[in-house]
Amino acid sequence: AIAEEHLTKPIEETYADKALEGTLKSVSKSSYAQRLTDSNAASKIVGNTYTASVFMGIASLIDRVGGRGDLTPGKSVVVFSYGSGALATMYRLHVRQPTSSGVCTIEDMAKKLSLTERLASREEVDPSELDLALETRARMHRGGAPYSPVYPTDGRMFPGTYYLN
């Protein structure tokens, strides 16, 4: 519970109040975990994807919550993203009834994403692989068109992945 002293304090005095900050973190911890654990699961595995992080969160939420059947019509998801502090965007997604064709349901998206399984199937490679990939990419940018990939692609791409020759 929040102490009476915090509730009666002028708001300006609460901005740097570390005791209040600790109390609020403690009070909100379970609510925070309940609301954000599923949507943050993939990002904890993959790491910071910068611009794509909000979409990684949506994919993670669909994979985990939608896969359990808990992301049902009538529910909504608030999406919030901020850059370096200069800009921020917030919007709400509403889960709707599927169309009569049954295509593009949350369950169908979760099945097609298979995000948890795909992340679990990743192959651990030596850090020198990243060095090779980055150098190959730099050579491609320096060389310009026409370009043919020289980085090994056999066995390194998920089924259905393609690139143009």
For the segment 43-59, the average pLDDT, to the nearest whole number, is 88
* DSSP collapsed to 3 states, the chain: CCCHHHHHCCHHHHCCCHHHHHHHHHHHHHHHHHHHHHHHHHHHHHCCCHHHHHHHHHHHHHHHHHCCCCCCCCCEEEEEEECCCCCEEEEEEECCCCCCCCCCCHHHHHHHHCHHHHHHCCCCCCHHHHHHHHHHHHHHHHHCCCCCCCCCCCCCCCCCCCCCC
pLDDT at 47: 85
Between 58 and 5, residue with greater pLDDT: 58
* Confidence label for 165 from pLDDT (cuts 50, 70 and 90): low
pLDDT at 84: 63
The pLDDT confidence band at residue 56, using thresholds 50, 70 and 90, is very high
Q: What is the mean pLDDT of the chain?
A: 86
Residues 128-160 pLDDT 10s:
988 988 888 898 888 877 777 676 667 777 777
Of 92 and 85, the one with more pLDDT: 92
